[in-house]
Structure formats: C-alpha cells, structure tokens
Amino acid sequence: MPAKRYVVDLTPEERSQLEALIQKGKASARSIRRAHTLLLAADGLADHAIAQALHIGHATIERTRQRFVFEGLAAALTEKPRPGGERKLDGKQEAFLVALACSAPPQGRAKWSMQLLADRMVSLGMVETLSDETVRRRLKETNCSRGDRNAGASPR
C-alpha cells in the first residue's frame, strides 16, 4: 500500500481538543465527523477502515487530511464558504419592493405581477436589473399580498 500523501500527526493538545469536541456534542455533525476522521487517521487506520467506520467516502477523508496538513486543525473542522451570488437587493431596496407590492396596482391591472414589480423597480432607478424570480423570492418572506385590498403586514 502506498504511503499517505497527507499524514495526520496530532499534538496532545489537538487530540484533547478533538476529544472534547466529540464528547460535548455541541458542534455541527460535520465538524464532529471530521474530528472522528482526524482521530482515526492519527491512530493509523487506513482510509477504507475510516470510510467504513464513519460511512463517508475516501475523498472526504483525503480532503480532511489535506486541510489539516496545510491549514491546521481549525480549518479542517470548519466549513469553507460556499460559492453563491451576491444579494440583488439591499435592505432599503427590499423594503421599497414590499411597499410597492402592497400599494395599489397600476391602472388597468387587478393586481401586481412579479414582472410588473421588477420592471417598476428598474424604471424607478432602484436597481439596474431585476428578475421576476428575485421579486418572488423576496416577497415570499413577507406577509404582503400583491394588490389585495388588505395588503400589508397586519390584517384589518
């Protein structure tokens, strides 16, 4: 069997820190599983034995080892930020959108549509571009009904 590329060698302090993390049980399940992975790897278990014991994949074990070796214990236990898009609307813009949705619909319309709200936000200069799906997601978090007589946060 080839030698491990990333060897986990825990100091006594690190080992006690990992054991305390596991015993407390207050950390996320992923952090606890990573702690178990590091402890078993430091004890010399092979990756396939760790994978069977913890029900995780070999790649997960290898990545955890690698993060421990290059970035340290704290980085190996925590999540890296996940990629995602920036928020399209800030708090002030979201508040304006809710107020707009709760206002009377345009002339000739029974109620606001998502696309009408997005277009109005753009025409008023609140944002450069805005999709109807972004409007839908932002309004879903509120209690505002588009164009209803009793639209607003508190029913009458």
Q: What is the pLDDT of residues 72-96, one digit of tens each?
A: 999 999 988 888 878 889 989 999 9
Q: What is the pLDDT of residue 79?
A: 84
Please check the confidence at residue 119 and state whether its pLDDT lies above 80. Answer: yes
- As to burial, measured by CB atoms within 10 angstroms (0-12 exposed, 13-18 middle, 19+ buried), residue 146 is buried
**Is the Cβ–Cβ distance between 147 and 111 less than 8 Å?**
yes
CB neighbours of residue 59 within 10 Å: 10
Please check the confidence at residue 62 and state whether its pLDDT lies above 90. Answer: yes
Rounded CA-CA distance 103/96 in Å is 10
**Is the Cβ–Cβ distance between 88 and 127 less than 8 Å?**
yes
Q: What is the pLDDT of residue 25?
A: 79
Our CA angle for 114, 155, 98, nearest 5°, is 30
In this structure, which amino acid lies at residue 46? Answer: A
Q: Hey, what are 126's tokens?
A: 């609140």
What is the H or E stretch that residue 144 is in?
none
Taking residues 128-150, report their average pLDDT. 78
CA atoms within 13 A on the CB side of 97: 31
Q: In this predicted model, which residue has the larger pLDDT, 153 or 77?
A: 77
**Is the Cβ–Cβ distance between 146 and 105 less than 8 Å?**
yes
